[in-house]
Amino acid sequence: MKEIVLIAAGGTGGHISPGVALAEVLLEKKDFFQIETVFLHSLIRNKDNPDLLSPPCPVLWHSMPKYSGVSFLIFPFQFLVSFISTCLELKKRKVSVVIGMGGYSSLPAILYTILFRKTLYLCEQNCIPGKITRIFQNFAKKIALSFPVESYTFQNQNWKIIGNPLRKKVIPNQMNLRQNENLHDNKRNLLNVLVLGGSQGARQLNHMILKAMENVEVSQKFRFRLLTGNSLYDETKSKSKGEAEIISYADDMKPNYEWANIVVARSGAGVVAECLVFGLPMVLIPYPYAADNHQKENAEYMEKEGAAKVIHSTSEDPSPLVRYLLEWKENPSSLRDMGHEALRLSNINAAFQTLSYFFHSHG
């Protein structure tokens, strides 16, 4: 019997993007995986998320309330309404399998699988499993991990490290180190630095880069492209005194990754996974207020494996970044080595392999 699959990808972009990547592959390989229909399940306030503007399959929207900003007395009733609504919707659609991508907003769909004895699979993007993964691991038939989990041992033994599923539009056309095999292929002999602030805490990164550019040696040897996020574009543009290319948002990230020699970013699992498949050395500045401090663990794992350098800082002091950049400029072979390590850790087939593990593997 063919399965009707719901992918619960509702929280932030870090949960939505890999969920969409899984939906793309399921739709392409419906017969292979014995799938009849695929749905995405997401919060209605995510309707403007870029990955959900033109989704690969129908999206079932729900309105689970936020923990914050809701009265402690009102929240249980609002949650109950959302949960009952989700159950009715999924029963009507005859959903037989739920893939939870993490985040509290996947809770109604996960509880549906428990209440109605449906199949649950979990995907965990980070080096520290989120609360949903930890709480519901024993209800899951299998768990797919993006990275090794060092600080937590699963009681559920059916897990496998596969990699973070990537959307088709971000996967490079060919796996190589074009960016760093020839580090002197432009007339001014400059290295290209791509700066990705992410949705949280981008201001610190933007200001750190602008201050780094005030260093004469850095400004002469590097080109910068800042993706600021829409809300910080005007502020960053007004403070910029150098030649940085400042962009508010890019729907198509592939040309930016192809342009870059180095990436400076937060250490969310999605951005890190995308940098890996392009063989890009990274300077990672973890967002210190991320849940369970998972960005710190992600960054430190990348550094331990030789694909990144980590700056643990909440200040805008550019000194550590300047030091790394100038060291790499003087020693380009170390940059190439980091690129090789990044490629070693990458998996462009993570989406397909995750689904194969869920639906075909008996391990």
Q: Render pLDDT for 267-326 as a digit per residue (tens, 0 to 9).
A: 999 999 999 999 999 999 998 877 778 899 999 999 999 999 999 988 889 999 999 999
Do residue 280 and residue 204 come from a single domain? yes
pLDDT tens digits, 14-34: 899 999 999 999 999 999 999
Percent of the chain with pLDDT over 70: 88
Residues 6+ apart with CB under 8 A from 109: 6, 8, 41, 86, 90, 98, 100
Q: Is residue 194 part of a domain?
A: yes
| 126 is annotated as contributing to ligand binding | yes
| Higher-pLDDT residue of 267, 178 | 267
Q: 243 with 151, same domain?
A: no
Q: Please indicate, yes or no, whether residues 353 and 279 belong to a single structural domain of this protein.
A: no
Within a domain: 173: no
pTM: 0.91
What's residue 363's pLDDT?
47
The owner of tokens 């009849």 is: 36
Is residue 172 one of the residues assigned to a domain? no
Strands 3-8 and 282-284: what pairing? unpaired
**Domain check: are 261 and 113 in the same one?**
no
- 263 and 243 in a single domain? The answer is yes
Residues 82, 203, single domain; the answer is no
Q: Is 167 annotated as a binding residue?
A: yes
199 is in an annotated binding site: yes
Residue 149 shares a structural domain with residue 208: no
If one counts the domains in the chain, the total is 2
Tell me, yes or no, whether 68 lies in a domain. Answer: yes
| 295 marked among binding-site residues | yes
pLDDT winner (highest mean) among 188-202, 244-258, 312-326: 312-326
45 is in an annotated binding site: no
pLDDT at 184 over 60: no
Is position 113 annotated in a ligand binding site? no
- What pLDDT, in 10s, does the model give residues 41-98? 999 989 988 899 999 999 999 988 776 655 667 878 888 999 999 999 999 999 999 9
* Residue 13 annotated as lining a ligand binding site: yes
One domain, residues 100 and 195: no
Query: What is the extent of the structural domain holding 161?
Result: 3-166+349-359
Closest CA relative to residue 206, chosen from 166, 275, 264: 264
Candidates 280, 264, 197; CA nearest to 236 is 197
Residue 105 zone, left/alpha/beta (φ > 0; ψ -120 to 50; rest):
alpha
Whether residue 225 lies inside any domain: the answer is yes
